[in-house]
Amino acid sequence: MGRFVAFHCRACGERTPPEPAPRFACPGCGFEALDVELDLAAIRRTVTPALIGARRDPSLWRYRELLPVAMPRDDEGPLRQVGGTPLYSSPRASARIGGARVHIKDDGRLPTGSLKDRASAVVAMRARELGVDCILAASTGNAGVAIAAMAQAAGMRAIVLVPAAAPPAKIAQLMLFGARLLLVRGTYDDAFRLSREASRELGLYCRNTGYNPFTVEGKKTVSFEICEQLTQQAARADSDPSRAELSAPDAPPSKWLAPDRVYVSVGDGNIIVGVAKGFADLLALGFIERMPRLFGVQSAGSAAIANAWRQGSEHIERVSSNTLADSISADMPSDGLRALRAVRDSGGDYLVVSDSAILSAIVELARDATVFAEPAAATAYAGLLHHAQESAIPPSEDVVVLVTGTGLKDVAAATRAVAAAPTTIDPSMSALRQALS
C-alpha cells in the first residue's frame, strides 16, 4: 500500500524503506519489534471520521485507509469480516468501582474467539503481498488459532507451535482450521525460540508477536472501534429515542471521543503496544483530541514487564512464569520495551493481580457485564477492580476494559472460578421444590 512508508526502530530510531521482502530486525541495531510507519499526513488529507462513519461495513476493514495492507476479497469469510465487536457499557461495573462509566470491549466475539484475529488478518494480507504461501507462528494458543484460521481463509498454509499444555479447546481449533500443529514439550518461550530459529533456517514467514511488525497494525483497530463506538453511544444518549425510532439517522460525527483510561491484560506486551498505536494514529490524524491513559495488568505469576516498571528500568529480567492465565504467560516478554514505553507515554501504570483475583474477576465480569472471559482476558478487569480499591477513579471518567478472549477457550478455569457445584435432582416436582426451597 502506498501509505506504508517505512519500518521504524524504536530502540535506535533508524528508518528502513518498506522493501517487498520480509523484515523482522532493525538493520542498524538488530532490535526485533519494528514499527510500521504510515504516511499519516497523506491519510489525513483523504479520510475523515465522517467518511468512515458512513460505511455499513462493520469489520476492521472499514478503517482500510489506516492499514498498511490491502483489503481481502468479499468471499474470504472471517478474513474479510474480522472486527466489529461490541462495546458494552456496564452500569453494574460502574457501581462496583464508585461511579466511573465502565465499557467492556468484548473481543471474545471475534471469529476464533480472541483479539488475535485482528493481528492475524493483517499479517495474512501482508503475507499475500509478499507472495508467501505458508505462515509460521509460535503461540500460547490464541494467536496460533487465529493465524491458522486467517491463513486458511486466505488460501495459505500455517505451521503452529504451541506448548503441549495449551487448553484442549485451543488445540481442537488448531486441528480443525487445518494448521500443521506441533505441540512443544516446554513453555511458550521454548516454542517462541524454536519458531524463530525455524523461520531463519527454513525461510518461513513468521507471525510471532513482538517480532512480526504487522501484528500491531491489526491490533490497533480495537482502539479505532473503541473510539468510534464510544462516540456513537454518546450521540444516542443525547438524542431523543422516541424520535430516533422513525427519523433518518444523524450524520456521522466529524470527531471521535477517546476514553480516559483503558485496562489491558499484558503478557508479551504486544497487545498494549497495538492499543497504544491505534490511539496514537487517531491523535495524529486529528480524529481524537487526547491520548487515553493505558493501564497494563499482569498476572503476579508472569510479571516481567511490571517488575521492570516498578524498578523504573527498561531492562526486563526473565521470570519463571506460573499462572493459570495461559495466554499471558511469558518468561521473557518479546515486546517488553515498547510495552513499557506505551504505558509511560500515556501517563498510565502497570498493575499486578493474583491468580485468585483473576478467577474472581471471571465471575464478576460475567455477573456485571454478562461477558464470559478466559483467565487472561479477565485479568484486565481484575486490574480495574484492584485499582479502584487502591486509588479512587473519578466518576467523570470513561473507562474501557479490553476482553481479549472468550471463556469458552478455557472451561476448566471457569469451572474452578465458580466455587459452588450445581444441584442435581431427579425429574420430579418434589425434588424441584426441595432444591428451590
Touching a copy of itself, residues 219-238 (CB under 8 A) = 232-233, 236-237
Query: Does residue 22 bind a copy of itself (CB under 8 A)?
Result: no
Question: Are 15 and 6 a contacting pair, CB within 8 Å?
Answer: yes
Q: Find the binding residues for a copy of itself in span 180-199 (CB under 8 A).
A: 180-186, 190-191, 193-194, 197-198
Q: Which stretch binds a copy of itself (CB under 8 A): 88-96, 118-126, 213-221, 342-350?
A: 88-96
**C-alpha–C-alpha distance, residues 53 and 359, integer Å:** 38
Query: Rounded to an integer, what distance in angstroms lies between the CA atom of residue 366 and that of residue 381?
Result: 11
Element at 401 (helix H, strand E): strand 398-403
Exposed, middle or buried: residue 248 (CB in 10 Å: 0-12, 13-18, 19+)? exposed
Enclosing H/E stretch for 350: strand 349-353
Shortest CB 58 distance to a copy of itself, Å:
5
Smallest gap from Cβ 80 to a copy of itself, in A, equals 8
Q: DSSP states of 194-239 as a string? A: HHHHHHHHHT-EE--TTTSTTHHHHHTHHHHHHHHHHHHHHHHHHS
Q: Return all residues near 9 (Cβ < 8 A) that are at least 6 apart.
A: 15, 16, 26, 28, 29, 31, 34, 35
Does residue 246 interact with a copy of itself by CB under 8 A?
Answer: yes
Q: According to the binding rule CB under 8 A, does residue 203 interact with a copy of itself? A: no
Phi first, then psi, for residue 41 (nearest 5°) are -65, -40
Asked if residue 319 binds a copy of itself (CB under 8 A), the reply is no
Question: Interface residues for a copy of itself in 132-151 (CB under 8 A)?
Answer: 149
Tell me the CA distances in angstroms from 399 to 240, 294, 377, one per residue in order: 25, 10, 16
Please identify, among the stretches 10-18, 53-61, 256-264, 267-275, the one whose residues bind a copy of itself according to the rule CB under 8 A.
Answer: 53-61
Contact pattern for a copy of itself over residues 346 through 365, marking x by CB under 8 A: ----------------xx--
Spatial separation of the C-alpha atoms in residues 183 and 171, rounded to whole Å:
9
Q: How far is the CB of 193 from a copy of itself (least distance, A)?
A: 7
Output the smallest distance, CB 191 to a copy of itself, in A: 7
| Phi, psi dihedrals of residue 262, rounded to the nearest 5° | -135, 130
Query: In angstroms, what is the minimal distance from the CB of 64 to a copy of itself?
Result: 7
| DSSP letter string, 263-332 | EEE-SSSHHHHHHHHHHHHHHHHTSSSSPPEEEEEEETTS-HHHHHHHTT-SPPPP-----S-GGG--SS
Q: Which is nearer to a copy of itself, 22 or 186 (CB)?
A: 186
Residue 414 contacts a copy of itself per CB under 8 A: yes
Site residues for a copy of itself, 92-131, by CB under 8 A, read: 104, 106, 109, 111-113
User: Which one of the spans 2-10, 152-160, 300-308, 311-319 is the region binding a copy of itself (CB under 8 A)?
Assistant: 152-160
- Looking at 359, 361, 371, 376, which residue binds a copy of itself (CB under 8 A)? 371
Residue 242 or 396: the one with the smaller Cβ distance to a copy of itself is 242
88 near a copy of itself, judged by CB under 8 A: yes
- Residue 270 CA to residue 339 CA, distance in Å, equals 7
Three cell numbers written together for 433: 421444590
Using CB under 8 A, which of 81, 140, 209, 265 touches a copy of itself? 81
Among 245, 320, 391, 396, binds a copy of itself (CB under 8 A): 245
Choice from 13, 30, 98, 249 touching a copy of itself (CB under 8 A)? 249
State which of positions 394-413 bind a copy of itself (CB under 8 A). Answer: 406-409, 411
Report the residue from 367, 389, 392, 394 that binds a copy of itself according to the rule CB under 8 A: 367
CB of 239 to a copy of itself, least distance (A): 11
Residue 239 engages a copy of itself in binding (rule: CB under 8 A): no
Our finding on whether 172 is near a copy of itself (CB under 8 A) is yes
Alpha carbons 382 and 181: distance in angstroms, whole number: 32
DSSP element (H, E) containing 123: helix 116-130
Nearer to a copy of itself, 352 or 403 (CB): 403
DSSP state of 373: B
